[in-house]
Structure 1
Amino acid sequence: MDTTAILVTGAGLALAAFVVWYFFFSARPTVSAVTAVGGVQAVAITVKGGYSPNVIEVERGKPVQLSFYRAEENSCSEELLLPAFNIRRDLPAFKTTLVELPPQQAGTFDFTCGMGMLRGRLVVT
């Protein structure tokens, strides 16, 4: 191998290692819900190539209102699934969809798009 091949191979391996770290091991910010009037915990979530924020922390026993604003027309993001709460919602493009749920049990609950490619997590404490 000549020097150029070694440099290209090394750069490719470094890039592959960064991609693996970013998608599987990097820390994701957790957002705590804000308690609004009436004790409802509210969180605004933007849907655009993923969920932002994608990790949401709420308190058990208090009603939760998730506001999903879909800022794209990508077909993957047109449906929201919260299987633990038996919730399936269509998310119209460039509109806000409210999802209300009563988290009665502590735990971690995943939510996804209809295809399972976009992922988020609801952490109930």
Structure 2
Amino acid sequence: MSTDRWMVTLFGLALVGLVAWFFWLKKSKGAAAVTTSSGAQEAMILVKGGYTPDVIVVQHGKPVRLMFRREETSTCSDTVVFADFNKSVKLPTGETVAVELLPEKPGTYDFGCMMGMFRGKLVVE
């Protein structure tokens, strides 16, 4: 095999590795929720092609208020579901909607859209 074919093959393999890492292997540290004067832990989440941030870190036993701001019209993103808390909330486009939870036990709790295309995690420490 010639040198240029080796280089193209190596570049292609590196690109495949980068794509695999970005979509499946990259771990997000998460954003810590801020404690407000009322004692609630609060975090703002932008809904636009996914959740930003997609990992929120909170403390157990304290109320949590997640503020979702939806900036798109995709029907997939019109509802956020917290299955472990038996809660789902409609997210109108252009509005900020508060989702209030009280996580009693430490753990990782998934949230997402109805179709499972948008996903996030609530990490309770």
**Larger deviation: 9-18 or 106-115?**
9-18
> Any unmatched runs of 5+ in structure 2?
none
**TM-superposed deviation, 1:2:** 4.9
**Distance in structure 1 (CA, Å) of the matches to 2:5 and 2:94:** 47
Normalising by structure 1, what TM-score?
0.91
> Which residue of 1 is the match for residue 78 of structure 2?
78
> Any unmatched runs of 5+ in structure 1?
none
**Distance in structure 1 (CA, Å) of the matches to 2:124 and 2:29:** 16
Secondary structure of 2:77's match? helix
**TM-superposed deviation, 1:10:** 2.7
**Larger deviation: 78-87 or 2-11?**
2-11
**Distance in structure 2 (CA, Å) of the matches to 1:16 and 1:36:** 44
Quick check: 1:58–1:123 contact (8 Å CA) kept in 2? yes
Provide the identity percentage.
Answer: 46
Quick check: 1:29–1:53 contact (8 Å CA) kept in 2? no
* CA root-mean-square deviation: 1.4
**Distance in structure 1 (CA, Å) of the matches to 2:99 and 2:26:** 28
> Which residue of 1 is the match for residue 32 of structure 2?
32
**2:50 aligned partner, one-letter code:** G
**Distance in structure 1 (CA, Å) of the matches to 2:73 and 2:10:** 38
Q: How many residues align?
A: 125
> Which residue of 2 is the match for residue 69 of structure 1?
69
**Distance in structure 1 (CA, Å) of the matches to 2:13 and 2:117:** 25
> Which residue of 1 is the match for residue 111 of structure 2?
111
**Distance in structure 2 (CA, Å) of the matches to 1:35 and 1:122:** 15
Quick check: 1:45–1:52 contact (8 Å CA) kept in 2? yes
> Which residue of 2 is the match for residue 15 of structure 1?
15
**Larger deviation: 22-31 or 93-102?**
22-31
